Amino acid sequence: IKGADLPSDHEVWDYVANYLGQAIANYTLTLAPERVVLGGGVMHQDQLLDKIRTQVEKALANYVELPAMTDYIQLPKLGDNAGITGSLLLAKRALKDVK
């Protein structure tokens, strides 16, 4: 079954949020990122972002000081165009460096 075909209240979203939340908590403790940006098709599920933030807070249990979860875990500001836009900007910068 495709995720897009599941209702927003299906229990699978709790599992997805739990696993992503655990991964982000581990990355936070290991890499100390300033921000986590989550994109891709699964993040088109509107209910998922808040569930993930909740799981990260639960997993970290105030072990480290972080900004508000809404600032720490975000969607890409350019949406699905973030990857291609970033690639084009890097190519433009590299082209300037060559000249």
**For each successive 10 residues of the chain (99 residues), what is the average pLDDT?**
91 97 98 96 94 98 96 94 91 89
| Confidence at residue 12, expressed as pLDDT on a 0 to 100 scale | 96
| Confidence at residue 98, expressed as pLDDT on a 0 to 100 scale | 82
Paired tokens of 54: 């909740």
- Helix (H), strand (E) at residue 66: none
Domains along the sequence of the chain with CATH: 3-98 (3.30.420.40)
CA-to-CA distance for 66 and 79, rounded, in angstroms? 24
pTM of the predicted structure, to 2 decimals: 0.85
Measure CA of the first residue to CA of the last residue in the chain; give whole Å: 51
| Confidence at residue 94, expressed as pLDDT on a 0 to 100 scale | 94
Coil, helix or strand at residue 37: strand
Whole-Å CA distances, 51 to 17, 37, 94: 6, 15, 39
